[in-house]
């Protein structure tokens, strides 16, 4: 059994650690910005667009926005399933990507071509589309059916906080209150 002692903390405490023992730097420490200045919450918003409009309002009113951060809390990954992925759809997507790459290569070759640059361009697009389709189909077939759907991932947060350095917090709160009054139609 250990007993508490009244020893003072060490003069040079060990650095704070983040996940898996990685060092936590000031920009990663909650409540501090990159320069180490204390940050406080000036306002919170339910969506990113509202928080962005608030910072834009601060900027329009000559507020030093370099002392501001938009911080999302309770961040989660949302994956929207777009549809079933088959070998044919993978080949079609590969063909489209290959055609874009073929267009790029065709334009490069066309710049240095003395004649028939349109033919060079069309052949490059066709070759790119064929190779893209082949590689797309092969790549999907090699997954062995482990991922038979297409999706798009986004990060969302439950709320967004406008964090400002403590020395300008009152000014930010006054401006944001004025913005809310103007939005509500009050004079």
Q: What pLDDT is recorded for position 104?
A: 95
* CA–CA dist 128, 103 (Å, integer): 8
Domain that holds residue 95: 79-153
Dig out the tokens for 4 from the structure: 């508490």
Which string of DSSP letters, residue by residue, matches 17-38? B-GGGPBPPGGGSTTB-TT--B
Number of domains observed in the structure of the chain: 1
β-strands 39-45, 159-165 pairing:
antiparallel
Whether 107 and 147 have beta carbons less than 8 Å apart is answered as no
Is 34 within the bounds of a domain? Answer: no
Say if CB 151 and CB 81 are below 8 A apart. Answer: yes
Contacts of 84 (CB under 8 A, 6+ apart): 148, 149, 150
Q: Is residue 145 part of a domain?
A: yes
Residue 29: closest CA among 16, 10, 42: 16
10-residue averages of pLDDT along the chain (187 residues): 44 46 43 70 93 94 93 92 91 96 92 85 95 95 86 92 93 91 74
Query: Terminus-to-terminus CA distance in the chain, angstroms?
Result: 66
- The DSSP output letter for 45 is E
Q: Which residues of 56-95 are buried (b: 16+ CB within 10 A; e: fewer)?
A: ebbeeeebebebbbebeeeeeeeeeeeeebeeebbbbbbb
In the prediction, which pLDDT does 117 show?
85
In a domain, 128, yes or no: yes
Evaluate whether residue 85 is within a structural domain.
Answer: yes
Identify whether 69 is part of a domain: no
**pLDDT value of residue 81:** 93
Q: Using CA atoms, how far apart are residues 57 and 33, in angstroms rounded to an integer?
A: 21
Residue 110 lies in a domain: yes
88 in a structural domain: yes
pLDDT of the residue at 161: 94
In angstroms, the CA 127 to CA 131 distance is 6
120 within a domain of the structure (yes/no) = yes
């Amino acid at each position: 059994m250990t007993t508490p002692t009244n020893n003072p903390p060490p003069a040079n405490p060990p650095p704070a650690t983040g996940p898996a023992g990685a060092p936590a730097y000031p920009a990663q420490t909650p409540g501090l910005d990159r320069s180490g200045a204390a940050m406080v919450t000036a306002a919170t918003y339910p969506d990113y667009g509202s928080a962005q409009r608030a910072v834009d309002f601060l900027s329009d009113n000559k507020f030093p926005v370099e002392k501001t951060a938009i911080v999302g809390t309770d961040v989660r990954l949302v994956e929207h399933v777009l549809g079933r992925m088959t070998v044919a759809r993978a080949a079609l997507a590969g063909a489209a990507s290959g055609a874009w790459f073929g267009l790029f290569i065709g334009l490069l070759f066309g710049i240095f071509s003395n004649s028939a640059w349109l033919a060079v361009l069309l052949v490059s697009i066709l070759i790119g589309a064929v190779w893209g389709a082949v590689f797309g189909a092969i790549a999907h077939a090699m997954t062995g059916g482990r991922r038979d759907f297409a999706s798009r991932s986004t990060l969302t947060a439950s709320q967004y906080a406008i964090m400002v350095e403590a020395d300008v917090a009152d000014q930010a709160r006054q401006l944001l209150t004025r913005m809310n009054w103007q939005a509500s139609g009050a004079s």
